[in-house]
Amino acid sequence: MPHLEGRPVVVLSNNDGCIVSRTDEAKKIGVEMAGPYFKAKPLIEAHGVATFSSNYNLYGDLSWRVMETLRTMLPAGSVEVYSVDEAFLDLSHIAPENLKDFAFHIKDTVEQWTGIRVSIGVAPTKVLSKVANRLCKKHKAVTNCVLVLDTPRKLEQALEKTPVEDIWGVGHQYAKKLQLYQINNALELSKKDIPWATKNLGGVVGARLLRELQGIPSREMEGELVNKKMIATTRMFGSPVKELADIKEAIATYTSRAAEKLRRQNSAANTVSVFIVPKENSTGNYFRHGPTLSSYTILPSATSLTNELIKAAVKQVDHLFEAGRIYKKAGVTLSGIVPDNAIQSSLFDPAPNEKARMLMSMMDNINFAMRNDVLKFAASGTSKDWKMRQELRSPRYTTRWEELFEIR
């Protein structure tokens, strides 16, 4: 937003618990990443930091707009959406001497069309492009958020400036292990051989990582996964929950959401899994996570009907719930997914209920058009006191008519 230009901004995690994103201005005043919001609040208020809850509707829509913009600028199959805010682009059709200009063209177009600022790292492999992207963001004043590693000298300098813990694919434990071998940056790691990487970095995965650091492409561009093999909806509760009825309402709501996603890809599921997580127990100065309680039900035949899935999910809560405990999270996973038009059933199963399918389709269309679950099953409840807390959420400007940005 223009009025936030140059102002420190932070975004909070689910239930406004921790700080999960910071602007450069927020970093400069000492706001820590992943720190609890309540601890950082005095610093945030003292410096007038703009604070926002997570806004997944807005993020998802803007992410789609950015990715669609990239697709219009590149040949089919040249964009791999890696996450909500990251994508890999195949620029093999661009002449090496034109890579920098084309990268700036992409950057300028995305920012002009969507208002989202982006950084672009260009290199021979995915891992090296991640190295380039990290450095161009770290040195914005010099790179203007675009860095092309197109010469051996540039690659060597970039690898030398990249600590092993910042290499894509190297986790915390492997970073500590590499440091024991006196390997402290990506350049030192790139000088190892494949047998060493296979032995010390997780077999084939480590060998692939090393090849990528050496400029040998080992991670192919991946197409978009149109149909998911598993669909999950999980949430932290807005406040601790201790009543069975509240947990059942949450599970029914999450099942409804997962069922909508299932129907959207014209699929059905034959397995419903449910889990609930008790609140942490305090023991002295230490905190211990309560055990995740889970179970699953295999249905007689695959279905996409919300009422059937809710019935199977809610029934499991009766077995998982323990009176007297306080719960902080719950979730539902649908698996055993098959195409909706190829459901395997036995001779004794009743014929598919076409009227029920039409009802689901009508509900989905109305809820998509009107939002906010205008139509829902009674099992989902009405008050939803357990709903995730988002007290500082910004408006969902691009997906809600009533929240459109106003210009006066």
Residue 327 confidence (pLDDT):
92
- Helix, strand and coil percent figures for the chain, each rounded to 5: 45, 20, 35
DSSP notation for 281-311: EEETTEEEPPPPEEEEEEEEEEE--HHHHHH
Tokens of 118: 């982006």
Which CATH code fits 2-54?
Answer: 3.40.1170.60
User: Which residues fall within 8 angstroms of residue 132, CB to CB, at 6 or more apart?
Assistant: 121, 122, 123, 147, 148, 149, 158
Distance of CA 95 to the CA centre of its chain: 33
Residue 348 confidence (pLDDT):
63
Q: Sketch the domain layout of the chain as residue ranges.
A: 2-54, 58-213, 231-380
Q: What is the C-alpha to C-alpha distance for residues 133 and 127, in angstroms, rounded to an integer?
A: 10
Is there a common fold for 2-54 and 58-213? no
**pLDDT tens, position by position, 300-328:** 889 999 999 999 999 999 999 999 899 99
Q: What is the C-alpha to C-alpha distance for residues 310 and 303, in angstroms, rounded to an integer?
A: 11
Predicted TM-score (pTM) above 0.95: no
Backbone angles phi, psi at 11, to 5 degrees: -120, 140
Task: Measure Cα distances from 401 to 62, 68, 364, 404 in Å.
Answer: 16, 22, 18, 5
Residue 219 confidence (pLDDT):
85
- Are 371 and 61 in contact by the 8 Å Cβ rule? The answer is no
Residue 404 confidence (pLDDT):
87
Residue 401 confidence (pLDDT):
81
Residues (pLDDT < 70) of the chain are 1, 224-226, 281-290, 344-352
Closest CA to 279 of 241, 231, 327, 245: 327
58-213: CATH architecture:
2-Layer Sandwich (3.30)
Residue 66 confidence (pLDDT):
97
- Are 25 and 2 in contact by the 8 Å Cβ rule? The answer is no
- Are 45 and 37 in contact by the 8 Å Cβ rule? The answer is no
Which CATH code fits 231-380?
Answer: 3.30.1490.100
